[in-house]
Amino acid sequence: MTGIIPDGRLADLTREELVRYSRHLLLPEVGVEGQKRLKASRVLIVGTGGLGAPLALYLAAAGVGTLGLVDCDLVEASNLQRQVIFGTRDLDRPKTAAAADRLKALNPGITVNTYNMRLTSRNALAVIGDYDVVADGTDNYPSRYLVGDACVFLKKPDVYASIFQFEGQATVFDAERGPCYRCLYPSPPPPGLVPSCGEGGVMGVLPGILGTIQAAEVIKLIVGGGRPLIGRLHIVDAWLMRTVDVKLDKNPDCPVCGKSPTITELVDYEQFCGLGDDRGEEVPSVTAGELKSRLDAGDRVQVIDIREPHERSLFRFGGAVPVPFGQLVRRMDEFDPSADLVFICKIGQRSLYAIRALREAGYGGPMFNLKDGVNAWAREVDPDLDAY
């Protein structure tokens, strides 16, 4: 396999670069030629969180000439357990700005472009088109489908990883030589079925493991040689410390990269993943303050806590009826149809899906979503409780 950087873009290494990258130069598989390709390369990292943090650090250290960082979030305290590119002093700063400062401090010889925004169907092709490789460090299905489709249309490799709790997976989607993201995941799971890391948790070192695997795959694609993870899904279980590779086949009927594609442009990925706004009647919500007032007034309200048992042990909501998300539909006969049901979870997202699932199952009683979940209750009603 040859590298993806054309010879016409290569430039000589400076004396300082020969010293900085000397350990690369000693490797016959990299050498001066490979390091020149790294210097000439442009890599876009979508998401500078758990995966993007180690990925960006190692690519900067390796001498990738231009790094693009896409993220619209601010640094939060809960990020610091795993997003090692940030420090405590970066709290409340835009992630892209804080990451760029750290990368430039690590390697002043590289260029860092920041995009403090969400990647969307309107801007993805323009942003991705300027880069040689895309590394997907996102944590949600709409973004993954967006990145995957855009990379197929632009003929760019998509170096992918995802993590949850103790397990992660990584691969390289390259529709020119193997499967794309939709070959592996033709359709997203139902909304609310798979909780995010913010709801389900993640072992702090796991994104470090998967992010560095992504960095290794990016380097191999740029330099050429080795055996990239094209057509293989590499699965890591950090709790049991075992790995396995699963063969991935290109789907000839894939709607994006198959023989007769039916999707030829970017779509509305929020709608595709069932997260859009056109799902019929809106779900009514109550704020933490409004719920507190209704409970204090003795209104006929039944609070349903759909969190998992280990979550409830972190933050107990007094008087709530515990019914985990996966049991809601089969246990809906237990609910009082004459009461206003208020569904609660950590941040108010799973409870939104819970109400929609119960509506589809035929439950007709009044239902409300606690806006921003129990974390809002901790912030606004009972500061003695700790948001998590």
Determine the pLDDT at residue 277.
Answer: 47
Residues (pLDDT < 50) of the chain are 277-280
Distances in whole angstroms, Cα of residue 273 to Cα of each of 170, 188, 193: 21, 6, 12
Of 267, 316, 320, 251, nearest in space to 291 by CA: 320
The pair phi, psi for residue 286, each rounded to 5°, is -130, 145
| pTM, rounded to two decimals | 0.79
Contact predicate 68/131, CB 8 Å: yes
Determine the pLDDT at residue 202.
Answer: 85
Per-residue model confidence as pLDDT tens digits over 317-370: 888 999 988 888 889 999 988 899 999 998 888 898 889 889 989 998 999 999
User: Which CATH superfamily hosts domain 7-272?
Assistant: NAD(P)-binding Rossmann-like Domain (3.40.50.720)
Beta partners for 245? 234
Fold adopted by 285-380: Oxidized Rhodanese; domain 1 (3.40.250)
Query: How many helices, marked H, and strands, marked E, lie in the chain?
Result: 15, 13
Of 197, 201, 119, 195, nearest in space to 158 by CA: 119
Per-residue model confidence as pLDDT tens digits over 209-260: 999 999 999 999 999 989 999 999 999 999 999 999 999 999 999 999 999 9
Residues involved in catalysis: 197, 345
Determine the pLDDT at residue 248.
Answer: 93
Beta partners for 66? 42, 111
Domain limits, the chain: 7-272, 285-380
